Amino acid sequence: MATRGTCLAIGLLACLPACQTVSETDGVRQKGYDLLGQKDYSSSVSHFERAASLATNPEEKAKAYLGVGRVHLHRGDPRTALRYFYTARATYHSGDLESETNRALGQAYFRLGDYTLSRRYLAKGLERTQGEEHELTLAMLVVCAKGTGDADGATAYRTKLEQPCSPEVRAILAMDIVTPEAPAVEPGDLARSWSPEERGEPTVPREKGEEGERLLVISRDKWNATSVHQNIEPMGRVDKITVHHSGGEVFWGTSKAAAAAEIRRIQRYHQNDQHWADIGYHYIIDRAGNVWQGRRLRYQGAHARGSANCGNIGIVLLGNFCHQSVPAAQRHSLELLVVKLCDYFSVPPERVYTHREIVNGKTDCPGPGLSPIVRGLRTDLRRKLVAYRKAN
């Protein structure tokens, strides 16, 4: 049976675009693809970087960034490839190049085993494909559908493939479906540096003040999270944090079992009633101070309305702080979590918000019991960040 690396290498070579002569950068960029086909990766990157410097418009520059990303993908570094693909997408995203970028993103996520995002992008890029590229993209979509448990979808994609299938298509279809424990994403997930905590494994606090403490994050599987739906969006660059309360009926539970049940209830409401892809928040803090993993950080949240969700980490504290006060342990964990996130993502203190602040007063969330705590944390955050960095 073919391995994922072998299959994707076959697919990537077949999917390399044919450059058209439209500017002086074309020759340099085409040479980059020629060198990529020869596996001269360093020279290929140099040519694409030169093409980017010569580019006279955003479309040409985006094509060069795509080329650099494809080199990294072909050499087995999909994480770096994603950064260049997203840069290309931000530089120019229209027409045939939009379709090509979507397929590139889908191929990178495919290599990482993130079949949900891979399928999303490959499906967006499928329409403008033809010939061998179309068949290879369909084959990857078959694998993605199987990898997300969608047998009907896999069958539907499979029936669209021309018969007999090429050896390259057969190699992809024969792949083992393997989902890695913590696939990396754009812009990065704290699981890479907090992997024991994200899995819910115990950690030992250091013999230092509060800023030097390790933070235990209880993973999604500990509260039996259901699968993410297809309408998920990638996070993009993190640049802000928003704090919420769960609101609604007053919640007094302090056990992990009670917290897990409440988190599942919130997820059901968000997925079934609001039709969101997952629970809207990235982190949940219960009344005993336990921090739970919500929506994975590689996915954009659904907690701050529309465009305010972009690059925005959502933290919710269980409770209704219009009618309750915040327990000391819950407050302490909020402060420590915000400090760690601000340090990791370089979020400035002024971009730590309450829900009410980020939507210009259109909600009472997180209530008068929690809002002053967030404002106080924001005021004191620079000192806490200095202390945390010294301790770590």
CATH code of the domain in which 258 resides: 3.40.80.10
Query: Residue 370 above 90 pLDDT?
Result: yes
Q: Of 144-153, 230-239, 374-383, which one has max mean pLDDT?
A: 374-383
Please report how the helices 58-74 and 41-54 are oriented relative to each other, as an axis angle in degrees rounded to 10.
170
374 shares a domain with 244: yes
3-state secondary structure 105-127: HHHHHHHHCCHHHHHHHHHHHCC
Q: What is the pLDDT of residue 118?
A: 87
Domain boundary among 173, 206, 241: 173
Give the β-pairing of 283-285 and 291-293.
antiparallel
Domain for residue 153, yes or no? yes
200 shares a domain with 138: no
DSSP H/E element including 158: helix 151-160
Averaged pLDDT, 287-291: 94
228 shares a domain with 115: no
Averaged pLDDT, 322-331: 93
Give the whole-number percent of the chain exceeding pLDDT 70.
83
231 shares a domain with 368: yes
Among the ranges given (1-5, 248-252, 314-318, 325-329), the one the predictor scored with the smallest mean pLDDT: 1-5
Query: CB count, 10 Å around CB of 354?
Result: 22
DSSP H/E element including 283: strand 283-285
Q: Which residues contact 221 (CB under 8 A, 6 or more apart)?
A: 200
Averaged pLDDT, 354-360: 94
- Give 138 or 305, the one with higher predicted confidence: 138
Domain for residue 257, yes or no? yes
* CA dist., res. 388 & res. 328, Å (int): 20
DSSP H/E element including 291: strand 291-293
Q: Which residues contact 214 (CB under 8 A, 6 or more apart)?
A: 197, 203, 204, 205, 206
Q: Which two tokens stand for residue 176?
A: 């083992």
Q: What is the pLDDT of residue 268?
A: 94
62 shares a domain with 159: yes
322 shares a domain with 231: yes
Domain for residue 28, yes or no? yes
* CA dist., res. 245 & res. 210, Å (int): 23
Domain that holds residue 352: 192-391
* CA dist., res. 228 & res. 278, Å (int): 5
Domain for residue 187, yes or no? no
Domain for residue 80, yes or no? yes
86 shares a domain with 199: no
Q: Which two tokens stand for residue 240?
A: 């802000």
Domain for residue 279, yes or no? yes
* CA dist., res. 131 & res. 136, Å (int): 9
* Long-range pairs of 75-79 with CB within 8 A, sequence gap ≥ 24: 75/41, 76/5, 76/111, 78/108, 78/109, 78/111, 78/112, 78/184, 79/112, 79/184
Domain for residue 35, yes or no? yes
What confidence tier does 11 reach under pLDDT thresholds 50, 70, 90?
A: low
Place of tokens 């990638």: 234
Q: How many domains does the chain have?
A: 2
144 shares a domain with 62: yes
Give CA separation, 20 vs 11, 28, 99, in Å. 21, 12, 16
378 shares a domain with 292: yes
384 shares a domain with 241: yes
Cβ(392)–Cβ(382) under 8 Å? no
DSSP H/E element including 46: helix 41-54
Q: Tell me if residue 193 falls in helix, strand or coil.
A: coil
Domain boundary among 173, 204, 222: 173
Nearest to 111 by CA among 63, 146, 72, 166: 72
Place of tokens 């915000």: 338
- For 53-93, what is each residue's pLDDT tens digit? 998 899 999 999 999 999 999 888 888 888 889 888 888 88
User: Which DSSP state fits 134?
Assistant: H
Query: Residue 23 above 80 pLDDT?
Result: no
CATH (domain of 29): 1.25.40.10
DSSP H/E element including 29: helix 26-37
Among the ranges given (112-121, 126-135, 310-319, 374-383), the one the predictor scored with the smallest mean pLDDT: 112-121
Nearest to 219 by CA among 163, 117, 290, 171: 290
Query: Residue 210 above 50 pLDDT?
Result: no
Cβ(99)–Cβ(128) under 8 Å? yes
148 shares a domain with 8: yes
Domain for residue 182, yes or no? no
Question: What's the chain's Rg over C-alpha atoms?
Answer: 23
For 88, phi then psi, to 5°, come to -60, -40
Q: Which residues contact 273 (CB under 8 A, 6 or more apart)?
A: none
205 shares a domain with 160: no
Query: Residue 36 above 60 pLDDT?
Result: yes
- Give 195 or 265, the one with higher predicted confidence: 265
Averaged pLDDT, 198-217: 44
Q: What is the pLDDT of residue 17?
A: 54
